[in-house]
Homo-oligomer: A and B are copies of this chain.
Amino acid sequence: MPELRHDPVQKRWVIIATERAKRPFDFTRGNDAPQSGKCPFCDGNEFATPPEIAAFRDKNAPNGPNWKVRVVPNKYPALRIEGDLERAAAGQYDRMNGIGAHEVIIETPEHDKDISDLPIDHIACILTMYRTRLLDLQRDSRFRYILIFRNHGAAAGASLEHPHSQIIATPVTPRTVAMELQSARAHYQLKERCIFCDIITEELREHSRIVSADDDFVTWCPYASRFPFEMMLAPRRHSHDFAAMDDAQILRLARHLREVILRMKESLDDPPYNFLLHTAPSFQVKNARVGYWTTIEHDWHWHFEILPRLTKTAGFEWGTGFYINPTKPEDAAQYMRDVRLK
């Protein structure tokens, strides 16, 4: 059983993932990525994954070929779905069982297509699957947060090449999310305005950091970007919950997302990157529906972070939580705006 442990000085939860336990020589030999042709995510190899949780397919039977998007449990999950949390003190420390969900969204049956190579309606299918899984996992009262993220390229932590996203639902609110929520709450209490709405308004007026803006969505390089060419994507109109989007909005998001990923890939020659969705904490969303929390709708504004992995995180960053970014966000935005898309 994986374990969650709490650091009393850094106030940080860590997952000790014993199910993928590594001994010293596991780090010193090469990685064990499957050979091509044996990819468990490819069409026809459905037997190589655990049974599917959900899929978009044409009335054919589950776990066979012919699908567009397929969701399976992670074979080596960081957290386990079955069991009780058993929160407990461990001497002066705190621990609980590593309960949560860890799913893989296989984005396409085709091995070599990154998300931005797919047609817009297929990208919309992937985003619709995000919505489906969020709505389902939000019903589990053990989960405090549901993170959807995507690693592209080995340097960004992708261990399998085949295009996929991952979902991890955690039984505690992650520190990064708690910090964002706290800032957004304080801002709303003081000003009765959403902090993200304020930022979007300022960025659109200032314009120098905008990568792309249409009637529904805007993508910009944040003023205090940690990484070169870092981007933030958000809906122009206030909305706390990604899963509240309708199909028409999802289709427009698919078009916008494809464009900004293409701009990044053209500028940087297909860099490794992470992208992640920060939607409202599921605990609050669920309880807002039954009337316990009414402010989450004001406090949060869902967004994607898109992080090209161009620099290495070194001692200074680990020691301070401070980042050194060698590219001005204004310059990065201009490079990406100037890309001529085919």
Enumerate chain A interface residues (CB-CB to B < 8 A): 5-18, 20-24, 27-28, 78, 90-93, 145, 147, 149-151, 154-158, 166, 168, 170, 174-177, 179-180, 183-184, 187, 195-196, 198-199, 202, 206, 222-226, 228-229, 267-269, 271, 274-278, 305, 307, 310, 312-316, 318-329, 331, 335
Contact = CB atoms under 8 A, between A and B. Distances in A.
18 contacts: A5-B223, A5-B224, A11-B183, A12-B224, A14-B324, A22-B310, A23-B335, A27-B271, A28-B268, A28-B271, A78-B324, A91-B202, A92-B198, A168-B316, A174-B320, A176-B320, A274-B315, A276-B319
B149 A321 contact: no
Nearest to A269: B28
A174 B322 contact: yes
A323 B9 contact: no
Nearest to A93: B223
A274 B327 contact: no
B271 A328 contact: no
B202 A315 contact: no
Interface of A is mostly: mixed
B278 A10 contact: no
A177 B228 CA distance: 24
Given A5-B224, A319-B149, A268 B24 contact: yes
Given A21-B328, A176-B10, A314 B224 contact: no
A314 B5 contact: no
B22 A228 contact: yes
Contacts of A329: 16
Given A9-B199, A15-B324, A155-B312, 11 more contacts: A9-B183, A10-B176, A14-B225, A14-B324, A14-B325, A24-B268, A24-B269, A27-B228, A28-B271, A92-B198, A174-B319
A175 B321 contact: yes
B268 A15 contact: no
A14 B312 contact: no
Contact of A176 (B271, B312, B319): B319
Nearest to A79: B324
A69 B155 CA distance: 35
Contacts of A27: 228, 268, 271, 310
A269 B25 CA distance: 9
* Minimum-distance CB pairs A-B, first 9: A157-B314, A149-B315, A174-B320, A276-B319, A274-B315, A176-B321, A175-B321, A7-B224, A5-B224
Given A92-B199, A267-B24, A274-B314, A8 B322 contact: no
A313 to B, nearest CB: 6
A278 B319 contact: yes
A198 to B, nearest CB: 6
